[in-house]
Amino acid sequence: MPDLQALVTSIHADLAPRFGAGNVADYIPPLAHVDPRKFALAVVTPEGETFAAGDADEPFSIQSISKVFTLTLALGRLGERVWDRVGREPSGDPFNSIVQLEHEQGRPRNPFINAGAIVVADMVLAGHTPREAIGEVLRFVRFLATDDDIAIDEAVARAEKATGDRNFALAHFMHGFGRLTRPVDHVLGLYFHHCAIAMTARQLARAGLFLAAGGRDPLTGARVVAPARARRLNALMLTCGHYDGSGEFAFRVGLPGKSGVGGGILAVAPGRASIAVWSPGLNAVGNSLLGSEALEMLAARAGWSIFGG
């Protein structure tokens, strides 16, 4: 095992001259006002050790990273029936594109683009009021992170709704094809709120640890998902977790990962660690610019690429 604290510290130092690179997600007002020079990197191992640098204890909006957790919940509830309503293929289009829905009769290409995550939210909502479903998602994330202090940033949730015209369009379009079973405003209420969960890099890395340990929380012993399901979640993160930048991320980093427009990325080194990075400046396809570079550096220096050292 490499000296992980030294690695994390060196990556932070190497990237420090470039803190602030990229463009924050200015279409969501609260995210537009986040200091672009913030940077955090946290690594949690199955042995329970945590290695961190930078702003690893400052909460940020995890945005689309939350889709990993809602998909896990939906699979736990519906099993393989999830795939009757959403695909498993990379999209090749921006995360909020409506183009493929037109050609594919409202069935989203994968659960990590916005349309797919809205369908997953509809699945999680079934049998619940929006408030109950929001509470279920939040409790699940707290359970994974073993931290009851994790909360939803209500200001971000309100801003998501106020600026969510494209998501409303996607949802109504899919509703017209019969792909949603609940009222659009209820489904989007859950969607906007789970995207507005705020977590620190340390908490996020801890929450993803079950994916690095075959579906089991190695610190509590709790079985979150079966090993086969953990493998498939990781596969989806690798192929679809960075929207139309997923291939580039797999090429450069070689780890399953899920990004969010808040500048966070959750990455998994199977059997070795769960990793969270936060740098608010985004690249041209909506993924953290320096966060992606930090993970590329970590995977290379630690020899953690799933494709070999």
β strands within 105-187, DSSP E:
151-152
Catalytic residue check, 243? yes
Catalytic residue check, 64? yes
The size of the chain, in residues, is 309
222 within 8 A of 216, measured Cβ to Cβ: yes
- Catalytically annotated residue among 24, 43, 61, 64: 64
Q: CB-side exposure of 59: number of CA atoms within 13 Å?
A: 13
- Catalytically annotated residue among 34, 243, 246, 259: 243
Q: What share of the chain is helix, strand, coil (3-state, %, to 5)?
A: 50, 10, 40
- Catalytically annotated residue among 44, 68, 137, 261: 261
Catalytic residue check, 261? yes
- Catalytically annotated residue among 67, 97, 224, 259: 67
Q: Which residues contact 296 (CB under 8 A, 6 or more apart)?
A: 252, 253
Provide the H-helix boundaries in 196-226.
Answer: 201-207, 209-212
- Catalytically annotated residue among 8, 43, 187, 191: 191
Q: In what order do the strands lie in the sheet with 151-152?
A: 60-61, 197-199, 151-152
Residues β-bridged to residue 288: 282
Q: Which residues are tagged catalytic? A: 64, 67, 191, 243, 261
